[in-house]
Amino acid sequence: MSEAPRSEYRGQIHQQQKDLMLRWYERLEESARTGNPPSVELMISGNSIELLEGFGAVPLYPEVNALQLAIRHLSLDPILAAEELGYAADNCAYVKADIGALIRGITPAGTPLPKPALVLCNFVGCNTYVKWFEHAAEFQGVPLAMLDVPFLRTPEPRAEDVDYVVRQLHEIVCQLEQITGRRFDMDRFREAVRCSARVEEAWSRIKHLARRTPSPFDAYFDAITLMGPLYVYRGSPEGVAFFELALKEMEEKAARGEGIYDQEKFRVVLEGPPPYPFFRSFRDMFASWKATAVASTYSTVGGLWEFGFRHDPSRPFESVALHMLAHNVTNRNYLQRYEQIRRYVEEWDADGIVIHFVKSCRLFSAGQGDMRDYFTRQLGVPTLYIESDLEDPRYFSEAQIKNRMDAFFEALEHSRSTGTLRRGAAALRQPAAGAGSAPGAGERLNILP
């Protein structure tokens, strides 16, 4: 078999991304050594990085550490260490990798990670995180704050929900002032919110460039590369400079008509996180078919901005609350996720959908079988469903996944050869009246701005 064509974009931003992430680990190391800057452990989903900027604190993201371990093929040892402690085989593998790494003193870059000043569980969407962060606080012997963000159950968050989250943010500010001995800098916080809005604008415009044919970047694999800076530096001038450069480079690439491959063959939407221990092999499976991910839900875990939401410096606390409540994929209900994917297929001109089910993540994955049925049976969009894990290498079978991917693209290729493959809006069949349950109720799903 010939080698899969290399597909990732390597411009200035590639090196800058590496430098930024390296600098983040250096700041964490400095925090570990001197306690300055203070660090706060946060979860990625709907993260409130802007709040930390008001304290000059550095974020510590256990998910980023876990996935870095997995990409470097270091995740199995900590997972086994956690299982020896009694964590079950089907517990979230991110949790096990993080807890196991804490116990064993394993860090992704080999440099020490700080003991956080506070473990802040911004409980957005994932209830496993409540226990994860409780355990992380317990194992590290540091205080824990629970930020309870109500699950989004109405098209827009209710005013009382926003108020509820804002009040908690105020409480956390007081708590962090006490713990760190630093005064919260409201101007710096507002500036961070302003930076976030600029980063979100650039990021959103990059994502919209993927609507072009060919797409100048891969909205799954390349997006993951950009997600590190997005979560660590969003509220900072470095973040603004990085994302505005990224936008410029992507716009230039788009203007030259350059895609990911010499010739883009297929355009797909991806649902679910990648199998990080086999990230390269997974990417090559798409590359061998010259398939570009033009949109992905995973890249909206930290925030969903391509449909218009931006942080607002004129009401900083409210916009942080709104971001946590409504503008990240994990805190939204399933029907909203269906609608998000449907819009991607239609507006980003996709040929099909690939769903990657994560065995150790019930929250993100439960219901994906129904999701597949909805898209294949009701909307007529070719949808592939594959299973492995985002962190635990034991769940990944390369031969099996490649077989399914090849079969999926063989079928798409055949449809194209017979003129029956439809793309974008043409790929979507209108659901028959009364067909299926809630997903067919288009008007109820029409809730994105």
Partner 1 sequence: MRLAAGVDVGSTQTKAVIVGDNGGLRMLGRALVDTGANVQRAAENGFLAACQQAGVSPQDVGYVVGTGYGRYKITFGNSQMTEISCHARGAHHLFPSTRTVIDMGGQDSKAISVGAEGEVLDFVMNDKCAAGTGRFLANAAEVLGIGLDEIGPLSLAARHPVKITTVCTVFVESDILSYLAQGKKPEDVLAGVHLAIARRTISLARRVPIEQAIVMTGGVSRNVGMVRALEQVLGTKLEVGSDAHFAGAIGAALFAIEKMGESFESGIWRPADAAPAG
385 binds partner 1, rule: CB under 8 A: yes
DSSP string for 90-124 = TS-HHHHHHHHHHHHT--TTSSPPPPPSEEEEEE-
387 binds partner 1, rule: CB under 8 A: yes
- Of 111, 92, 88, the C-alpha closest to 43 is 92
Taking contact as CB under 8 A, which single stretch among the options 295-303, 336-344, 367-375, 427-435 is the one that binds partner 1?
367-375
Minimum CB distance to partner 1 smaller for 231 or for 357 = 357
Taking contact as CB under 8 A, which single stretch among the options 121-129, 153-161, 322-330, 380-388 is the one that binds partner 1?
380-388
Q: Which of 159, 399, 432, 433 binds partner 1 (CB under 8 A)?
A: 399
Smallest distance from the beta carbon of 357 to partner 1, in angstroms?
A: 9
Minimum CB distance to partner 1 smaller for 400 or for 437 = 400
Distance CA(96)–CA(83), nearest Å, equals 7
Maximum C-alpha span of the chain: 69
415 binds partner 1, rule: CB under 8 A: yes
Distance CA(32)–CA(20), nearest Å, equals 18
Minimum CB distance to partner 1 smaller for 155 or for 367 = 367
Minimum CB distance to partner 1 smaller for 111 or for 376 = 376
Cβ–Cβ < 8 Å for 82, 100? yes
Within 195-318, strands assigned E span: 266-271, 291-296
Taking contact as CB under 8 A, which single stretch among the options 114-122, 123-131, 286-294, 369-377 is the one that binds partner 1?
369-377
Per the omega criterion (within 30 degrees of 0), is the bond before 37 cis?
yes
Taking contact as CB under 8 A, which single stretch among the options 108-116, 145-153, 247-255, 370-378 is the one that binds partner 1?
370-378
Q: Which of 127, 154, 397, 446 binds partner 1 (CB under 8 A)?
A: 397
Tell me the number of residues near partner 1 by CB under 8 A: 22
Distance CA(134)–CA(120), nearest Å, equals 10
Cβ–Cβ < 8 Å for 59, 302? no
Taking contact as CB under 8 A, which single stretch among the options 5-13, 110-118, 411-419, 426-434 is the one that binds partner 1?
411-419
437 binds partner 1, rule: CB under 8 A: no
Q: Which of 255, 407, 435, 441 binds partner 1 (CB under 8 A)?
A: 407
Taking contact as CB under 8 A, which single stretch among the options 5-13, 217-225, 336-344, 412-420 is the one that binds partner 1?
412-420
Q: Which of 74, 241, 411, 447 binds partner 1 (CB under 8 A)?
A: 411
Q: What is the DSSP letter of 376?
A: I
Cβ–Cβ < 8 Å for 360, 209? no
Minimum CB distance to partner 1 smaller for 237 or for 369 = 369
The binding track of 416-435 with respect to partner 1, each residue x by CB under 8 A or -, is --x-----------------
Smallest distance from the beta carbon of 422 to partner 1, in angstroms?
A: 14
376 binds partner 1, rule: CB under 8 A: yes
- Please give the radius of gyration of the chain, using alpha carbons only, rounded to the nearest integer: 21
DSSP, collapsed to helix, strand or coil, labels residue 258 as: coil
Q: Which amino acid is at 355?
A: I
> Which secondary structure element, helix H or strand E, spans residue 274, and what is its range?
none
Q: Which of 115, 205, 373, 447 binds partner 1 (CB under 8 A)?
A: 373
Minimum CB distance to partner 1 smaller for 115 or for 422 = 422
- Of 178, 177, 201, the C-alpha closest to 189 is 177
> Left (φ > 0), alpha (ψ -120 to 50) or beta: where does 419 sit?
left
Please list, in sequence order, all residues whose beta carbon lies within 8 angstroms of the beta carbon of residue 266, skipping any fewer than 6 positions away. 289, 290, 291, 292, 351, 352, 409, 412
Smallest distance from the beta carbon of 254 to partner 1, in angstroms?
A: 34
Q: Which of 148, 156, 252, 410 binds partner 1 (CB under 8 A)?
A: 410
Q: At what angle do helices 221-233 and 186-209 cross, to 10 degrees?
A: 170
Smallest distance from the beta carbon of 93 to partner 1, in angstroms?
A: 15
Please list, in sequence order, all residues whose beta carbon lies within 8 angstroms of the beta carbon of residue 416, skipping any fewer than 6 positions away. none
DSSP, collapsed to helix, strand or coil, labels residue 64 as: helix
Taking contact as CB under 8 A, which single stretch among the options 47-55, 59-67, 158-166, 398-406 is the one that binds partner 1?
398-406
Summarize as ranges the residues that interact with partner 1 (CB under 8 A): 1, 369, 372-373, 376-377, 382, 385, 387, 395, 397, 399-400, 403-404, 406-407, 410-411, 414-415, 418
